[in-house]
């Protein structure tokens, strides 16, 4: 009730801003786009404004990153630990650049996944739930989009692809919070699908089309009050704005970055995707998921075969480069304090080396790193046993991780959404359907 009053109060002010983002004759509604976005952010969590963090970048270690060769180096790793700029914290020698910024990041070494299989494990890591045949759960990105709303005309939740088992989707939550899906950044002809008009459609033709549509829709619009015209109108208007607004196009346009910075992030979809994530966050996006491996490398983090070779030659160097550059870049632009950076995959790798010199899936204990957005850096949370096989200290669940991210973003992490069959579902769901708790060492 109160929130609605606030919206009402804000109304005259909002109307005054119409000129700013006008779409001209194609505006179907009495309300301009800027109003729309203002409204949706007013509807969002009231705490969000007080929080330091405004956005989150998730770099996804698709396939399951070997924790033993990156963040939790043990005697059974083929690589050596090195010291970092954070006192007492050691990481793999494969991450020399990141080692100079460990004061900005914290490592959780006691993560656990309920599954050892990619699809199920990914689903669990993205939603906090094992996949079931009866309910589709919302991904962490969709929850953030729903709770925080949009900041600008840039979509709130952007991801490369839907992820295994459609794990990056909105699940049972309204489709309004489905991710905005983009193709792989880094490709030569990279452009966001459907965001650029094809050559055969001129802006004039676009106007002509809408003039025809207005006439064609007229009869049904009068006849049917259950055909969601209002919703379609608002989406159509937003879509048109996305295509015509320079702000949005610019956000996705990597060509506006200098060669130097592109080079610094590294080539391919990993480096360029990380750069794009920064651009999107800068332009107002709330949650970006990008893939943390290069297609050219022809190998993801699923190193069943020749683990050490792929880790050393193909997988970790781009990570070292992109992540360290991102941290520096965010800081230089004053975005680090408002942007959470989260690097994780679905699980870790086995402590043992298999006959193919690879490491297999290992969900029992693994590591991830996160920092920025007010999350304390230079910390290590939890510990694995001497082989990195099992959690030795302070188990942290996916639900705890989500609660941490939500808290940093000013979202009430204790919230539940009503799922199918009136079942309340924690947005930070932990093992055994318990509510996750923020990692107090970090937030």
* One of 228, 352, 354, 416 touching another protein (CB under 8 A): 228
Q: Least CB distance from residue 308 to another protein, whole Å?
A: 26
* One of 2, 50, 188, 226 touching another protein (CB under 8 A): 226
Q: Is 175 exposed, middle or buried (0-12, 13-18, 19+ CB in 10 A)?
A: exposed
Q: Is 420 in the site for another protein (CB under 8 A)?
A: yes
* One of 194, 263, 337, 393 touching another protein (CB under 8 A): 194
Q: Which one of the spans 27-35, 38-46, 235-243, 293-301 is the region binding another protein (CB under 8 A)?
A: 235-243
- Site string (85-124) toward another protein, x via CB under 8 A: ------------------------------x-x-xx----
Q: Least CB distance from residue 48 to another protein, whole Å?
A: 21
- State the Cα–Cα distance between residues 428 and 190, nearest whole angstrom: 35
Q: 107 pairs with which residues across the strands?
A: 369, 380
Q: Is 168 in the site for another protein (CB under 8 A)?
A: no
Q: Is 203 in the site for another protein (CB under 8 A)?
A: no
Tokens 């109307």 found at:
15
- Chain-centre distance of CA 138, in angstroms? 13
CA-to-CA separations, 61 to 14, 70, 99, 214, 281, in angstroms, rounded: 42, 12, 19, 47, 20
Between residues 8 and 133, which has the closer beta carbon with respect to another protein? 133
Q: Is 132 in the site for another protein (CB under 8 A)?
A: yes
Task: Pick the closest to residue 346 from 166, 117, 132, 136 (CA basis).
Answer: 117
Q: Is 165 in the site for another protein (CB under 8 A)?
A: yes
CA-to-CA separations, 289 to 75, 371, 436, in angstroms, rounded: 33, 16, 22
Q: Is 215 in the site for another protein (CB under 8 A)?
A: yes
Collapse the DSSP code of 310 into the 3-class scheme (helix H, G, I; strand E, B; otherwise coil) and give the result.
helix
Q: Is 195 in the site for another protein (CB under 8 A)?
A: yes
* One of 46, 83, 216, 393 touching another protein (CB under 8 A): 216
Q: Is 298 in the site for another protein (CB under 8 A)?
A: no
Q: Is 208 in the site for another protein (CB under 8 A)?
A: yes
* One of 3, 13, 49, 209 touching another protein (CB under 8 A): 209
- State the Cα–Cα distance between residues 203 and 213, nearest whole angstrom: 15
- Chain-centre distance of CA 256, in angstroms? 22
Between residues 50 and 422, which has the closer beta carbon with respect to another protein? 422
Question: For the stretch 132-155, what's the b/e string if a residue is b when 16 or more beta carbons lie within 10 angstroms of its beta carbon?
Answer: eeeebbbbbbbbbbbbbbbbbbbb
Cβ(185)–Cβ(272) below 8 Å: yes
Q: Is 197 in the site for another protein (CB under 8 A)?
A: yes
Q: Is 155 in the site for another protein (CB under 8 A)?
A: yes
Cβ(373)–Cβ(339) below 8 Å: yes
Between residues 69 and 237, which has the closer beta carbon with respect to another protein? 237
Q: Which one of the spans 72-80, 82-90, 191-199, 268-276 is the region binding another protein (CB under 8 A)?
A: 191-199
- Chain-centre distance of CA 48, in angstroms? 17
Q: Is 213 in the site for another protein (CB under 8 A)?
A: yes
- State the Cα–Cα distance between residues 140 and 209, nearest whole angstrom: 38
Q: Is 422 in the site for another protein (CB under 8 A)?
A: yes
Tokens 């309300």 found at:
31
Task: Pick the closest to residue 294 from 315, 310, 320 (CA basis).
Answer: 315
Task: Pick the closest to residue 340 from 102, 56, 139, 64 (CA basis).
Answer: 56
Binding residues with another protein: total (CB under 8 A): 68
- Give contact residues for another protein (rule: CB under 8 A): 115, 117, 119-120, 131-136, 155, 162, 165-166, 169, 171-172, 174-176, 178, 180-181, 193-198, 200-201, 205-206, 208-213, 215-221, 223-229, 231-232, 235-236, 238-240, 242-243, 420-423, 432-433
């Amino acid at each position: 009730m109160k929130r609605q009053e606030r919206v009402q109060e804000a109304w005259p002010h909002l109307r005054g801003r119409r000129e700013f983002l006008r779409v001209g004759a194609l505006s179907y509604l009495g309300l301009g786009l800027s109003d729309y976005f203002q409204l949706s952010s007013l509807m969002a969590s009231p705490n969000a404004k007080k929080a330091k963090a405004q956005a989150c970048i998730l770099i996804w270690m698709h396939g399951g990153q070997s924790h033993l060769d990156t963040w939790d180096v043990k005697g059974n790793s083929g690589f050596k630990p090195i010291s970092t700029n954070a006192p007492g914290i050691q990481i793999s020698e494969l991450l020399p650049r990141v080692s100079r910024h460990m004061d900005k990041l914290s490592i959780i070494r006691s993560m656990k996944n309920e599954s050892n299989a990619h699809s199920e494990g990914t689903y669990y890591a993205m939603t906090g739930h094992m996949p079931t045949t009866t309910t589709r759960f919302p991904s962490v990105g969709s929850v953030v989009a729903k709770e925080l709303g949009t900041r600008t005309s840039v979509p709130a939740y952007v991801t490369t692809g839907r992820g295994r088992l459609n794990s990056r989707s909105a699940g049972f939550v309204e489709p309004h919070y489905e991710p905005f899906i983009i193709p792989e950044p880094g490709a030569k002809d990279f452009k966001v699908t459907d965001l650029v008009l094809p050559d055969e459609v001129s802006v004039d033709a676009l106007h002509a089309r809408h003039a025809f549509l207005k006439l064609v829709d007229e009869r049904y619009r009068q006849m049917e009050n259950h055909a969601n015209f209002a919703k379609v109108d608002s989406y159509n208007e937003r879509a048109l704005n996305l295509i015509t607004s320079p702000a949005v196009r610019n956000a996705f346009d990597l060509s506006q970055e200098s060669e130097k910075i592109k080079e610094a992030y590294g080539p391919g979809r990993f480096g360029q995707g990380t750069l794009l994530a920064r651009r999107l966050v800068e332009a107002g996006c709330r949650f970006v998921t990008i893939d943390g491996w290069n297609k050219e490398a022809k190998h993801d983090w699923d190193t069943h075969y020749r683990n050490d070779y792929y880790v050393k030659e193909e997988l970790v160097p781009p990570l070292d480069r992109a992540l360290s550059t991102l941290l520096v870049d965010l800081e230089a632009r004053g975005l680090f304090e408002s942007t959470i950076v989260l690097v994780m995959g679905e699980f870790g790798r086995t402590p043992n080396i298999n006959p193919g010199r690879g490491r297999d899936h290992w969900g029992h204990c693994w590591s991830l790193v996160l920092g920025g957005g007010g999350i304390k850096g230079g910390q290590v949370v939890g510990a694995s046993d001497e082989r990195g096989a099992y959690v030795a200290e302070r188990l942290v669940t996916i639900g705890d991780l989500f609660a941490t991210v939500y808290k940093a973003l000013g979202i009430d992490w204790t919230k539940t959404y009503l799922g199918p069959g009136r079942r309340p579902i924690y947005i930070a769901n932990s093992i055994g359907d318990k509510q996750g708790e923020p990692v107090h060492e970090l937030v």
